Amino acid sequence: MNAILVLEDGTVFEGQSIGKAGRTLGEVVFDTAMVGYQQCITDPSFRGQILTFTYPLIGNYGANSEDFESSMCQAGGVVVREACEEPSNFRLEGGLGEFLEEHGIVGIAGVDTRALTRKLRTVGVMMGAISTDESAAKVLRRIEESPSYDEVDLVEQVSTPTPYEWQPGLTTENAQPRMDSEDRLKIVCLDYGMRESILKNLHAVGCRCIVMPCRATADQVLEEKPDGVLLSPGPGDPKRLTHAVECVKGLLGEVPIFGICLGNQMLASALGGTTFKLKFGHRGGNHPVRDLKTGRVTITSQNHGYAVDANSIEGSGATVSRINLNDDTVEGLECESLRAFSIQYHAEASPGPLDSRGIFRQFVDRIRDPKRWAEIAPEVH
């Protein structure tokens, strides 16, 4: 079956349908990761976006029921150069096309993804749509009549509606009643688009995770008497999340805080900082980040379209702790006096390099020993 991808400027890419027949609309972005396509497609941070993979062959190891980052597929659509038709892997449960069709995701293969990526890098990300049953002119009209990516509250769509305690092997859909554990630190995770691998990493370093909705208030969080709070990644424009910022403001100084990705932007906003939209975002598993305390450079996994304005946090009590070596954007904040810190990249990787997973241990060590907030703590495993 034929399919087309239409961009908001009228550019048309032709290809073949993979996954569900029909149509989808979203912000067209690209990801440079060579592997981990299933984790990307199920990552809540891709909600509302049409995900283009720059690696030319996608699907060579198929898909399975274990590599989900959330309880469902989140990307609005998928664009690939070539979809592998004969995947091979000992964990294989089905091919990419079958996976997309099963989960209702519209995709297109046979696209010149290099040309598409070059366009997005030159012009910037833009709205687009994939269709298997419409003319290009009709698709373009639909794009023009639809709200832009920045106008939609995507965090509300992906956040859990009710609090739950996460346990290994469970998802948000089959979470069980809370189970007390005296030996584990109690961490409240504010869900702006929680990834399963973050919860797994926190559990691995001795944490008990209570996941709360994005609209939870500071009082509701503090009622849980947490040892620490994690601000999760998530999709969309951070400027829309005024309720979440107010919650973080109420938590500052009351409990140790660790923010990841959108959580970094939430911390900056709560401290009085501002954010801005990147031209084409940071999405992939090969972004170099320098720790300004240690000088150490790590290769990181990233997925965000917004960044913190470094100048906006001057005088806030926070300092920039890490920078992206590609464009010098803020990759982390430290606020020792308020026991808060954050990173813009994904320490949990999945997909991506594992260089930064030690930062979960840092969070736990800082909670257990407050003196650690003033120390240099290298990200080691």
Q: String of b and e for 349-373 (b: at least 16 CB within 10 Å)?
A: bbbbeebbbbbbbbbbbbbeeeebb
The DSSP secondary structure of 163-197, one letter per residue, reads -EE--TT--TTSPPSP---TTSEEEEEE-SS--HH
Q: Residue 348 catalytic?
A: yes
Q: String of b and e for 148-162 (b: at least 16 CB within 10 Å)?
A: ebbebebbbbbbbee
The DSSP secondary structure of 39-92, one letter per residue, reads HHHT-GGGBTEEEEE-SSEE-TT-B-SS--SSSS--BSEEE-SEE-SS---TT-
Which of the residues 261, 287, 334, 335 is marked catalytic?
261
8 Å CB contact between 15 and 5: yes
Which of the residues 101, 207, 346, 379 is marked catalytic?
346
8 Å CB contact between 248 and 214: no
Euclidean distance between CA atoms 295 and 316, whole angstroms: 24
Euclidean distance between CA atoms 208 and 211, whole angstroms: 10
State which amino acid sits at residue 66.
E
Q: Residue 346 catalytic?
A: yes
Q: Which three-class secondary structure state does DSSP give residue 331?
A: strand
Euclidean distance between CA atoms 141 and 381, whole angstroms: 51
**C-alpha distance from residue 153 to each of 27, 48, 276, 351 (Å):** 14, 10, 17, 26
Euclidean distance between CA atoms 83 and 359, whole angstroms: 35
Q: Residue 209 catalytic?
A: no
- Token pair for 239: 């400027």
- The rounded Cα 183 to chain-centroid distance in angstroms is 30
Active site residues: 261, 346, 348
